[in-house]
Each structure stands twice: as C-alpha cells, then as structure tokens.
Amino acid sequence: MKNQKLLLVIAVLLAVTLFACKKSGVTSAFDKSYDAWLSYKKKVNNNYAYIAVEDGDNSHAETKITVTNGEITARDYAFYDSVYKPDSNVTRQVLTEQWHESADNYTLSTHADGAQLFTLDDIYYRAQNIWLKADQSKNKITFETNNNGIISAAGYTPNSCKSGDCFIGAKIKSIMP
C-alpha cells in the first residue's frame, strides 16, 4: 500500500512536470529570442540603437531609438511618401518629414508621429504580455527574429483589417551598438 502511494505521487509529479514544460512554438521562439536579446544587451552594456519601421499605403516611416545605459536618450524620425513617376515608370521614396528629439535638450516625446519611446526590454515585455496574447481567432499573430535572433516583429493584425496598416505591435528593421 505504501509503495502504491509512493508510485502514485511520483507519477503525478512526473505528469505535472512534463505538462508544465510543454511550450508552444511562439513561446519557445520567444524564449530563444529573449535569451539572444539578453546576451546582446550584456555585450553592448545596454547601449544600443534600433530602427522601428511603419509602412502604410504609399508611405514609409523609420524611427531610430537610441538607448544609453538602459535609458532612451534620442529619437530620430524620417517619413517618406511613395511618388510614382509615370514618365520613367518608377516609384521613389521621397523624404517629406524629418526631426530629432533628445533627452539632453528635453525634447523627447514632443512629436506625435514616430515609434513610441520603448527600449527593447519594453518591447519584449509588451510582446510577451500583450501583443502575442491577442485572440488568435480574431487576429493574425506575428513574431519574427530576423535581427540575429533578436526580435524584428511582434504583434498582431486584426482579421477584419481591410488596409495594409492595421498592425499593432513593433517592427524593427535593425539593431546596432
């Protein structure tokens, strides 16, 4: 009887352990990416910049966020319109707006446009706790790691979206020290 109880306890613990360790593909990919981020962050002493991108109908925007010692110190924005030249049958990106904000002169977050003031730690937090938890029956979930294993896209697009600019989350073109 005592051996049966011991075997039952061991079986229950083993089952709980096996089920607790099972992860979805997104969670596993997220964990690998988060580990890559922590390694990179340590390597660069939490000093880095990244370029967030937003694409709309006939437009493109890039925001460079600069982080020094874990704090956002600058935000640079560039907005491009797509202009079609019928005589040459070429579409070009034309810079139509550009600005710089800095913590040094207290101008951070003074413009409405541009990527939000998030560190990559903030983006990983929002990805894990908000964007990747969106209802999969109502949204297309996106998670990509094209920056040497570090996050390049995390978010969701509502299935009801009719235009190409409904993505909620972050898209990161590049990360640099």
| Three-state SS at 108 | coil
For residue 114, is it within any domain? yes
User: For residue range 95-112, what is the model confidence (pLDDT) as tens digits?
Assistant: 999 999 999 999 999 999
Give residue 3's pLDDT.
52
User: For residue range 12-40, what is the model confidence (pLDDT) as tens digits?
Assistant: 444 444 344 444 555 699 999 999 999 99
- Rg of the chain over Cα atoms, rounded to whole angstroms, equals 22
Determine which helix (DSSP H) or strand (DSSP E) holds 25, and give its type and residue range: helix 25-43
State the pTM of this model. 0.81
Q: Which of 82-86, 135-139, 145-149 has the lowest mean pLDDT?
A: 82-86
Q: State what percent of residues in the chain have pLDDT above 90.
A: 72
Joined together, the tokens standing for residue 163 give 């235009």
* Confidence label for 8 from pLDDT (cuts 50, 70 and 90): very low
Mean pLDDT, rounded, for 157-170: 89
For residue 18, is it within any domain? no
* Confidence label for 152 from pLDDT (cuts 50, 70 and 90): very high
Whole-angstrom CA distances from 34 to 12, 27, 53, 54 are: 31, 10, 20, 23
Q: Which of 40-49, 106-115, 155-164, 166-175 has the lowest mean pLDDT?
A: 155-164
For residue 16, is it within any domain? no
Give residue 52's pLDDT.
98
Residue range(s) defining the domain that contains residue 93: 25-176
Give residue 6's pLDDT.
43
Q: With b meaning 16 or more CB within 10 Å and e meaning fewer, what string describes 72-86?
A: bbbbbbbbbeeeeee
- The number of folded domains in the chain is 1
One-character DSSP codes across 38-107: HHHHHHTTT-EEEEEEEEETTEEEEEEEEEETTEEEEEEEEEEEEEEETTTTEEEEEEEEEEEEETTTT-
For residue 68, is it within any domain? yes
Q: How many residues does the chain have?
A: 177
For residue 4, is it within any domain? no
Q: Which of 88-92, 103-107, 134-138, 143-147 has the lowest mean pLDDT?
A: 88-92
